């Protein structure tokens, strides 16, 4: 037992230092309190070499949770946008199909109207021939009872002399009205 009290004192301080280190390792890390000198010296020497331990509710975990929540929200928004974009594409296809159908109907109606105009013009030309071959007095009686538009088209398709003879038998008021409408007519029928 004499070696415990050795004059050099080298063995005893090593044992005591080992016990202090073991005791510190067994204890949980302590927070620094104002006025405590022992723990402040330990934290000062450790602060440069070891990072601080984080507690479960720390700022880093809050930042991670916030970032995860934002990412989830962004993913949900992206999925909603993708669904809306897909719906818009579907509606665009429907509208394109309806537009093509409407264009086909419009073309069909235009064709029917053109055919109707051709037929009407043929009928008007036929009426022009009929009225041109009638006596002027008889043609005037019939023209007075016709609609003004048709009467004007018939008169505009006749030769000037024949139309003048027929108008001479029409009442002056009706003749003036038909003559006025004949001047407004832009496209006379050719024989």
pLDDT at residue 43, rounded to an integer: 44
Where the chain has pLDDT below 70, the residues are 1-57, 185-191
Residue closest to 162 by CA, chosen among 188, 120, 128, 121: 128
pLDDT at residue 83, rounded to an integer: 95
Between the alpha carbon of residue 50 and those of residues 44, 53, 114, the distances in Å are: 11, 9, 93
First to last CA, the chain: 150
pLDDT at residue 47, rounded to an integer: 45
- DSSP line for 89-147: HHHHHHHHHHHHHHHHHHHHHHHHHHHHHHHHHHHHHHHHHHHHHS-HHHHHHHHHHS-
């Amino acid at each position: 037992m004499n070696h415990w009290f050795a004059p050099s004192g080298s063995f005893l301080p090593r044992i005591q230092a080992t016990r202090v280190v073991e005791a510190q390792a067994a204890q949980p890390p302590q927070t620094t309190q104002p006025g405590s000198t022992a723990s402040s010296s330990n934290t000062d020497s450790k602060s440069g070499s070891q990072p601080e331990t984080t507690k479960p509710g720390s700022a880093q975990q809050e930042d991670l949770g916030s970032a995860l929540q934002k990412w989830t929200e962004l993913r949900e928004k992206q999925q909603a946008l993708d669904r809306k974009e897909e719906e818009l594409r579907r509606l665009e296809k429907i509208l394109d199909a309806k537009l093509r159908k409407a264009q086909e109907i419009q073309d069909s109606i235009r064709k029917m109207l053109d055919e109707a105009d051709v037929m009407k013009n043929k009928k008007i030309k036929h009426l022009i021939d009929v009225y041109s071959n009638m006596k002027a007095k008889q043609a005037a009686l019939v023209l007075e009872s016709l609609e003004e538009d048709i009467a004007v088209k018939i008169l505009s398709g006749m030769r000037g002399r024949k139309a003048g003879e027929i108008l001479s038998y029409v009442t002056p008021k009706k003749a003036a009205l038909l003559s006025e409408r004949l001047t407004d007519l832009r496209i006379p029928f050719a024989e």
